[in-house]
């Protein structure tokens, strides 16, 4: 639980810093390299813990979001698939993963995302 709290805190502070940086310096990189190294170390610890406790759906979702932050879409996709199989999903992350490529896994994610929409939000093919 402690690793999860630290990762969330670093991701939030890095997101705020990146937002401020982008506002002040629009040409700057979106993920500060100085923030990526400590996050990567914590993410590795979370991944290790999840291999010891593979039924933690929230942990897998956090791992997927952490990999997204680190710009590791393949790892994010695998972690997200584990979270989704355990019942935890995130529409924004699903959409981001779908934009990362066009293989069969992406289409499954998009289909799941669309299937989760209410009837009035349903995408129509007209």
| pTM of the shown model | 0.57
The one-digit pLDDT tens for each residue of the chain (126 residues) are: 566 665 666 665 555 444 544 444 454 445 556 666 788 889 999 999 999 999 999 999 999 999 998 989 999 999 999 999 999 999 999 998 888 875 555 556 555 656 665 444 444 444
Q: DSSP for 59-93?
A: HHHHHHHHHHHTT-HHHHHHHHHHHHHTT---HHH
Q: Is 125 inside any structural domain?
A: no
**How many other C-beta atoms are found inside a 10 Å radius of the C-beta of residue 72?**
16
Domain extent, residue 8, equals 2-89
CATH number of the structural domain spanning residue 17: 1.25.40
* Total domains in the fold of the chain: 1
Angle subtended at Cα 58 by Cα 53 and Cα 59, rounded to the nearest 5 degrees: 50
């Amino acid at each position: 639980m402690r690793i999860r709290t630290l990762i969330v805190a670093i991701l939030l502070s890095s997101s705020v810093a990146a937002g401020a940086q982008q506002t002040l310096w629009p040409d700057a990189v979106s993920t500060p390299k100085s923030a990526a190294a400590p996050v990567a170390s914590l993410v590795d610890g979370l991944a290790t813990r999840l291999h010891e406790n593979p039924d933690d759906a929230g942990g897998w979702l956090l791992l997927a979001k952490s990999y997204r932050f680190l710009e590791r879409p393949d790892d994010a996709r695998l972690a997200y698939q584990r979270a989704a199989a355990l019942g935890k999903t995130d529409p924004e992350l699903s959409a981001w993963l779908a934009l990362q490529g066009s293989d069969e896994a992406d289409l499954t994610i998009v289909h799941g995302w669309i299937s989760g929409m209410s009837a009035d939000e349903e995408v129509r093919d007209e």
